[in-house]
Structure 1
Amino acid sequence: MSGSLTLQSIDARAVLLPLRRPIVSKVGRFDDWPMILIDVYTCEGIVGHSYLEPYLKDALGCIIALIQALGAAHVGKPIAPLDVFQFNRRSHNLIGYEGVAMIAISGIDMAIWDALAKAAGLPLTRLFGGTVGPVPAYNSNGLWLTDVSTLAKEAAELSAEGGFAALKLRLGRDVLAADLAAILEVRQGAGDSVKLMVDFNQGLSLGDALHRCHALDEQGLYWLEEPIAYDNLTGYAQLTRELKTPVQLGENFYGPGELYKAVHAGAGDYVMPDLMRIGGVSGWLRAVPIAAAAGIQVSTHLYPEFAAHLMRATETAHWLEWQDWADPVVQEPFAVRDGKIEIPERPGAGIEWDEAAVKRYAI
C-alpha cells in the first residue's frame, strides 16, 4: 500500500515489564521497567507502533494524557511526520520544549514514521534511503553498581549473549579503588580485549569527576559517559579538554538545538541522542547532521529497534546501545549476532505487540 495516510486515532497504554537484571545506578534502582506502548491508527487500516521508556512509573499518566491531547489535534488530517513534529513543537512554545512535552511528541513521531514506512511497504531505514544490514552494538543489559565480585561472571554472560566484544559498565562507587576493581573483574570475565564503555549516570560533581576521571585515564576505557549533570556544558568542555579518554554525552539532549549547543561548546568527543528526548525520528534526522558536520561520531541510547534503522542512515554512526527490556511485549525481537543487531526485512520499524503479554503486564 502507498499514498497518504489519515489519522484516525492514537492509543497509549502503560505496561510494567520485568527486568532480567535489576537496574542499579546513580539514578536509582529499578526491578521493573515502566513503558508506554503507542498505537497510531489510520483511516487506511495501517497501524504504527512505538514505545517510550520514561523511567518513572508515576510519570506514565501525565505522558499518556499529553499523547492523547496532542493526537486529538491531528485526527482526520493527513499524516506527515515532519509537519506533525513541527506543529507539536510549536504548540509548546509557551511552556517549553523540554521534559514531558518532548517525550510525548517523540513517542507520537516514532509511531507515525512506523506507519508511513508500513504504508510504503519498506523497512524504515529504506524509507530514509538507507539499506538493511547489521549495526555494531554493545551490550548494556547489566554490569550495574552491584557487588563487584559478581561482575566477572556477569561480563562473561553478557559477552556470550550475542557475541559482544563491547560492554557497558556503570561506575561511580564510593571510592576509586572499587571502580578500579570493577574494571578488573569485567576484563577477567569478558577478556582484556573487550571494549568497555563506562557510564557514571551523572553521579559526580565536577570536582569529583576531575579527580576520578583523571585517575581512570590510564585504564584504556572506550569512553567516559555522563560523569556530571547533563546540563553542565562548561564542565563537560573542561573534562573533554583535559582527559585523554573520550567523553560521551547526549542522552539528555531535548531537541536538536541542545545537541548544537553541546557541539558548539566543545562539550564532548562523542554524542548519543535518546529518541525519547531528541524528538523521535524527526528530531534525530534534524540533529545528527549537526554532529556529522563537526566530525563527531553518533551513538544511540535505548530504543534499539528504531535506533538500528536510523544508524544505517546516519553519516557518523558509531555504536548502538543494546537492551532487551522491551522484548517481553514484542512479537519478534531483533536478532543479535557477532555483536551486531540485525534489522529484519519487515515494513516499518519491525515491531508488533504480543497482545497476550501486553495484557499480562498492563497497569
Structure 2
Amino acid sequence: MVTMTHTTTNAAHVAGEATLDRISWIRLSSVTLPLTTPVSDAKVLTGRQKPMTEVAFLFVELETEQGHEGIGFSYSKRAGGPGQFAHAREIAGSLLGEDPSDIGRIWTKLAWAGASVGRSGLAIQAIAAYDVALWDLKARRAGLPLAKLLGAHRDSVRCYNTSGGFLHTPTGQVLDNAAASLANGIGGIKIKVGNPDHKEDLRRLTAVRERVGDDAPLMVDANQQWDRPTARRMGRAMEEFGLVWIEEPLDAYDAQGHAALAASLDTPIATGEMLASVAEHWELIRHHAADVIQPDAPRIGGITQFLKLAALAEHHHLQLAPHFAMEIHLHLAAAYPIEPWVEHFDWLEPLFNERLTISDGRMHVPSRPGLGITLTDQARAWTRATHEAGKRR
C-alpha cells in the first residue's frame, strides 16, 4: 500500500458570520473489492468485456474543525479506479478551509478545478465521492438519516435483486437464487439476458417466471447488447411475461432508438445507469426514451447532481430505479415522490459494518445518521493507496 500525505493551504471564499465550521482534514482511500465468482453478463458473451473479478472503490473521509465527520464513495468496474483516485488526489486541497454546508458551491469549485477533463466521466466520478461525503456529514451533524434530511416520502423502498441472475450462473442456480431472494423478503427479481442464442434467453425467462409465479415482479437486463431490430423482436416476444421493465435493450446513448422502442411496446423501458452526467440523462428525458430512469449517483457526480436529475425526472412523471450502490441510493429513492425501486446487491457488504434491513419486498431506511455506514477492518486491509490533506484533530 502506498501512503501519501499532503497538506495544502486553500484560498477558500471569504466567510461571513453564517460560516460556523470548515473542512480541516481529508483522507482518500483506493480500495479494491475482490468478487468471489467472476461475473459475466451479455457484454462478456459478445466479446466486448472480460468477466468482472473486482470492483475498485474511492472512499473519501472528511473531518471539520468542529469535529464533524462524513464518508462517501465512488466506484469503478473493470477499469478506471486508479484514475478516479489520481484525480481526487489532485483536487483534494481545494476543499480545505471550505464550509462543509456549501455543498453545491463546493461541487462547482471541484468541477472547475478539473475543467479541462470535462464535466462527465472519470473526473466527475471522483468528485462524487467528495459530494457524497459532504451530504453524509451534513446529515450526521443534524442527527438524521440522509433520507430524512432530504425529506423522505417513505421509510422503505421496493427492492429487487440482480446479483443472483447473471449469465455466468446456470439456470438451475438462477431459479434457486430467485426463490431464496423472495423468501428473504426481496420484492422482485431481475435476470440478465442478451445471449447470442435469443431462444436461450426466452427459455431462461420462462423457467424463472414459472418458478417465481405470475405475481412476482420480474425484470430483464440486456446490458446494451441488442441492435434495434433485435430489441423490437425480443421486446415483443417478452410481452407475455408481464415484466416490470426491459433494461438497457440498446446502446446507452441511443436515445432515439430507446424512444421508438418505448413507444412500440407495452413493457416499460428502463435505462440510464451507464450515463455519466445529468446532461446525458436529459437526452433520454427529452426524447421520451425511458419509462424508468436509472441514474447512478457515483457515476453522475454525487448526490447534488442526482437531486437535480430527480427533479427533472419527477417533472416528466418518470419512474426511478437507481443503479447499484444501495447504501447511497436507498436514501435518494426514499426521497423521490413517485414510488421507486432500489437495486439489491450484496457485493458491498464486506466493506461496511452495518447491514440494511429487508422485509415484505422492501428495503428499510436505517435510523442511523447520515448514510449509516462505517468501513470494516477488511475494507482497510483491501486498501491499495491512501492520500491525506490537511490536519486531523
TM-score category of the 2 structures, normalised to the smaller one: over 0.9
Q: Is the contact made by 2:43 and 2:223 (CA closer than 8 Å) also made in structure 1?
A: yes
Provide the secondary structure at the position in 2 that maps to 1:217. helix
| Aligned counterparts of 1:42 and 1:181: Cα–Cα separation in 2 | 56
| Aligned counterparts of 1:93 and 1:16: Cα–Cα separation in 2 | 27
User: Which of the residues 240, 263, 266 maps onto 2:285?
Assistant: 263
Deviations 1:2-35 (A, max 9, x none): 9844112322222232435542112342233332
Counterpart of 1:63 in structure 2 is 84
Q: 1:18 to 1:11 in 2, by over 3 A?
A: same
| Aligned counterparts of 1:159 and 1:21: Cα–Cα separation in 2 | 22
Q: 1:206 to 1:10 in 2, by over 3 A?
A: farther
Q: 1:275 to 1:351 in 2, by over 3 A?
A: same
Q: 1:245 to 1:209 in 2, by over 3 A?
A: same
Q: CA deviation at 1:41?
A: 2.4
Q: Which has the higher contact order (CA 8 A, sep 6+)?
A: 2
User: Which of the residues 19, 36, 39 maps onto 2:35?
Assistant: 19
Provide the secondary structure at the position in 2 that maps to 1:73. helix
Counterpart of 1:281 in structure 2 is 303
| Aligned counterparts of 2:291 and 2:251: Cα–Cα separation in 1 | 17
Deviations 1:249-296 (A, max 9, x none): 111232222222211111111101111122211011111111111111
1:166 and 2:188 are equivalent in the alignment = yes
Counterpart of 1:148 in structure 2 is 171
Q: Is the contact made by 1:117 and 1:127 (CA closer than 8 Å) also made in structure 2?
A: yes
Counterpart of 1:346 in structure 2 is 368
User: Which of the residues 107, 121, 128 maps onto 1:99?
Assistant: 121
1:123 and 2:139 are equivalent in the alignment = no
Deviations 1:49-97 (A, max 9, x none): 12222102x4221111111222211211212211111222344444321
TM-score by length of 1: 0.93
Provide the secondary structure at the position in 1 that maps to 2:253. coil
Give the stretch that moved more between structures: 47-56 or 125-134.
125-134
Number of residue pairs aligned between Structure 1 and Structure 2? 359
1:360 and 2:376 are equivalent in the alignment = no
Q: Is the contact made by 1:132 and 1:344 (CA closer than 8 Å) also made in structure 2?
A: no
Gaps of 5+ in 1: none
Q: 1:261 to 1:4 in 2, by over 3 A?
A: farther
Paired AA for residue 178 in structure 2: A
**Alignment map for 1:1-363 (pairs within 5 Å):** 4-19=20-35, 22-28=38-44, 29-56=51-78, 58-79=79-100, 80-130=102-152, 133-146=155-168, 147-160=170-183, 162-354=184-376, 356-363=377-384
TM-score by length of 2: 0.86
Q: CA deviation at 1:130?
A: 2.5
Q: 1:360 to 1:90 in 2, by over 3 A?
A: closer
Paired AA for residue 182 in structure 1: R
Q: Is the contact made by 1:9 and 1:72 (CA closer than 8 Å) also made in structure 2?
A: no
| Aligned counterparts of 2:240 and 2:99: Cα–Cα separation in 1 | 55
Q: CA deviation at 1:206?
A: 2.1
| Aligned counterparts of 1:220 and 1:214: Cα–Cα separation in 2 | 11
Deviations 1:166-221 (A, max 9, x none): 11110011122101111122223323322111111111122322222222222211
Q: CA deviation at 1:357?
A: 1.1
Paired AA for residue 362 in structure 1: T
Q: 1:213 to 1:132 in 2, by over 3 A?
A: closer
Q: 1:235 to 1:92 in 2, by over 3 A?
A: farther
Deviations 1:223-251 (A, max 9, x none): 01001110111111111111221100111
Provide the secondary structure at the position in 2 that maps to 1:203. coil
Computing the radius of gyration over CA atoms, which structure comes out larger, 1 or 2? 2
Provide the secondary structure at the position in 2 that maps to 1:27. helix
| Aligned counterparts of 1:281 and 1:50: Cα–Cα separation in 2 | 10
Q: Is the contact made by 2:126 and 2:301 (CA closer than 8 Å) also made in structure 1?
A: no
| Aligned counterparts of 2:153 and 2:224: Cα–Cα separation in 1 | 35
